[in-house]
Amino acid sequence: MKNAMNPHFKKHILCIGAGYVGGPTMAMIAHKCPDYRVTIVDINPERIAQWNSDRLPIYEPGLDEIVRSARGRNLLFSTDIEKGIQESEIIFVSVNTPTKTFGVGAGMAADLQYWEKTARQILKSATSDKIIVEKSTLPVRTARAMERILFSENNGVHFEVLSNPEFLAEGTAIRDLEAPDRVLIGSRQTEKGLEARQQLADIYANWVPQERILTTDIWSSELSKLVANAFLAQRISSINAIAALCEKTEADVSQVARAVGMDTRIGGRFLHASVGFGGSCFKKDILNLVYICRHYGLNEVANYWQGVIDINEYQQEHFVVTMLNAMFNTLAGKRICLFGFAFKADTGDTRESPAIYIARRLMEEHADLVITDPKALDNAKMDLKDSKGNVCFVDNPYEAASGCHAIAVMTEWRQFRELDYERIYRSMVKPAFIFDGRNIVDHQRLFETGFNVYPTGKPVLTHL
């Protein structure tokens, strides 16, 4: 059936929020569903201009190709939010929901101001029935608040709110969207709720197998998103806690992770010990979960999840202390090269990257920093612009490491595995150190080259 608003398309979809989630998810829908017109709007005109240019605002492998395949055909980027709302039957809300920085719940609760402004804008502009899809990650029971706002004017327009959390990970977003483990849709169990749920499921059914489209009640869907992130982060904190014990006992955390992960009940993924997890969501979503638990008086439950964050903070500080101890208890005036600044490989995103904390701490110790990263240097400059200390940003890792006393591996970029470390060693101040916060370089080989090697959760290899 073609659509009355524009007969070329079966349906019009709008996404409010053209960020890391809105951009890739909607590009994938447009790419897979040529019958649907997909418009993405944002309050930030610069971001929209970038989406309309050859240089997209985010780096994500494979994203350029799918945007190019659909842009101008059935994928549009615009700043006209009102028109977008009026012309669409299905509206995804994918605005940011950061941790609150002020007032009640500061540092813990989700800041819902962007989300609420969107709800009010939808209410103001809508002249026909809409399905509103929560794509942002939200506290459980937010759909009820959304409904309250949308139904506050009794203007004859019906709104049906669905929860459809996004599980993509940055760096693999296109792969994750193309073949998701599951698509989760939560709805009210009313006739209209189930009908709306079906309309959303029909979109995904264009490329996602039926058995991977999971439907639940709306609260379970909202909560599942927070829980999925909490479980993933918990695995990282668990292995990082064990890494610290390995360092004391000369056990090797990679071998422990392998032995433990081969138990099919546990599974081997997400057990890479590291300098700590970063990214815009794990910390914020767990803090939010902790806040909700406290709100309901579940203090023991809140403390349990808070522990996941505490270990992550410990891990970052532990990395700095290891550097300090290894380098004769002083970093003042020493040149330290950070290999990587992104919170993980294959993204330019640095939000909550452990590298930010570590860079600041090293500057507090009066170290001079040289930072290299294939995609994240622009963000790194912004992150450190107010920090006191000497820092420079260098594209080429060989130039960056030259003249340094130590290298600290912050991000698991493939490029860093493949460098000529003999050349790097020759260019560094001796004794030369490498602190591998990702366990990606060949520790034995680097040791034989002359480096003093400090892996994460493994015995150190030192000539001193």
Interface residues with ligand UGA (CB under 6 A)?
A: 137, 166-170, 229, 232, 236, 270-272, 274, 277-279, 281-282, 343-344
Is 281 labeled as catalytic in the residue annotation?
Answer: yes
Shortest separation between residue 94's beta carbon and ligand NAD, angstroms:
5
Q: Which of 15, 246, 281, 293 is catalytic?
A: 281
Question: Please, which residue, 118 or 315, has the CB nearer to ligand NAD?
Answer: 118
Query: Per CB under 6 A, does 276 bind ligand NAD?
Result: no
Using CB distances below 5 to 8 A depending on partner kind, what does residue 22 bind out of ligand NAD, ligand UGA, none? ligand NAD
**How wide is the angle at C-alpha 210 spanned by C-alphas 206 and 213, nearest 5°?**
95
> HSE of 208 in the Cβ direction (CA atoms, 13 Å)?
23
List, as one string, the DSSP characters of 295-342.
HTT-HHHHHHHHHHHHHHHHHHHHHHHHHHHHTTT--TT-EEEEE--S
Judged by beta carbon distances under 5 to 8 A according to partner kind, the member of ligand NAD, ligand UGA, none in contact with residue 47 is ligand NAD
State the angle between helix axes of 218-249 and 282-295 in degrees (0 to 180), rounded to the nearest 10: 110
Angle at 79 between CA 69 and CA 56, to 5 degrees: 40
User: What is the H or E stretch that residue 372 is in?
Assistant: strand 368-372
Between 89 and 349, whose beta carbon lies closer to ligand UGA? Answer: 349
The string of DSSP codes covering 155-179 is -S--EEEEE------TTSHHHHHHS
- Residue 272 binding target from ligand NAD, ligand UGA, none, CB below 5 to 8 Å by type: ligand UGA
SS3 69: helix
Which of ligand NAD, ligand UGA, none has residue 278 at its interface (CB below 5 to 8 Å by kind)? ligand UGA
Binding mask 76-115 for ligand NAD (x = CB under 6 A): -----x------------xxxx----------------x-
Residue 271 touches which member of ligand UGA, ligand NAD, none, C-beta under 5-8 Å by kind: ligand UGA
Residue 280 binding ligand NAD, by CB under 6 A: yes
Among the listed ranges 15-23, 152-160, 209-217, 436-444, the one in contact with ligand NAD (CB under 6 A) is: 15-23
Q: Determine the size of the site formed for ligand NAD (CB under 6 A).
A: 27
Which runs of consecutive H residues, i.e. helices, occur in 394-442?
Answer: 397-401, 414-417, 421-427
The CA distance from 330 to 50, in Å, is 44
Edge-first strand listing for the sheet containing 406-409: 391-393, 368-372, 335-339, 406-409, 433-436, 452-454
* Minimum gap (Å) between residue 137 Cβ and ligand NAD: 4
The least distance separating ligand UGA from the CB of residue 236, rounded to whole angstroms, comes to 4
Task: Establish if 42 lies at the interface with ligand NAD (CB under 6 A).
Answer: yes
- Is residue 224 a contact residue for ligand NAD (CB under 6 A)? no
405 binds, among ligand NAD, ligand UGA, none (CB under 5 to 8 A by kind): none
Cβ–Cβ under 8 Å, residues 29 and 205: no
Instruction: Give the nearer residue to ligand UGA in terms of CB position, either 31 or 272.
Output: 272
Q: Is 426 left (phi over 0), alpha (psi -120 to 50) or beta?
A: alpha
Sign of torsion over alpha carbons 91, 39, 18, 229: positive
Nearest alpha carbon to residue 72 among 46, 38, 23: 38
Interface residues toward ligand NAD, by CB under 6 A: 16-22, 41-44, 47, 81, 94-97, 114, 117-118, 136-137, 166, 168, 170, 280-281
